[in-house]
């Protein structure tokens, strides 16, 4: 019985965005997950890749202020 080769890490990491967007063909997902079942490094990479996206969203979600002088400048520009 021949053993099906695993996808290399380079391919798994190369298609991570498609994997998390669920746009990979079902047969590729099977191969992808077969690789993840035996590769701790890619599991860690996948988790940190997802966490990177979340961290970026959180870090950029700053409270917005409303400088009064900017409001006035905008309203003045309307009247010009």
Partner 1 sequence: MNTTAQEPIVTDAELVARLQAGDESAFEKLVRTYMPRLLRVARRFLSSEEDARDAVQDAFVSVFKSIKNFEKNAQLSTWLHRIIINSSLMKLRSRRRRPEQEIETLLPRFQEDGHQVEPSTPWTESAQTVLERAELRDAVRKSIDQLPESYREILLLRDIEELTADETAEALGISKNVVKVRLHRARQALRTLLDPSMRTVPA
Residues at the contact surface with partner 1, assessed by CB under 8 A: 8-11, 13-14, 16-17, 40-42, 44-45, 47-49, 51-60, 62, 64-67, 70-71, 73-75, 77-78
Residue 45, C-beta contacts closer than 8 angstroms, at least 6 positions apart: 13, 16
Whether 29 contacts 19, CB under 8 Å: yes
If the CB atoms of residues 1 and 65 are measured against partner 1, the closer one turns out to be 65
If the CB atoms of residues 30 and 47 are measured against partner 1, the closer one turns out to be 47
If the CB atoms of residues 2 and 10 are measured against partner 1, the closer one turns out to be 10
Task: Say how many C-beta atoms besides its own lie within 10 A of residue 32's C-beta.
Answer: 20
């Amino acid at each position: 019985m021949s053993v099906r080769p695993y996808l290399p890490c380079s391919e798994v990491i190369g298609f991570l965005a498609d994997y998390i967007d669920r746009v990979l063909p079902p047969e590729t997902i099977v191969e992808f997950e077969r690789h993840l079942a035996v590769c701790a490094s890619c599991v860690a990479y996948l988790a940190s890749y997802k966490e990177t996206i979340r961290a970026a969203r959180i870090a950029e979600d700053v409270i917005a202020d409303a400088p009064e002088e900017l409001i006035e400048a905008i309203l003045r520009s309307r009247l010009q």
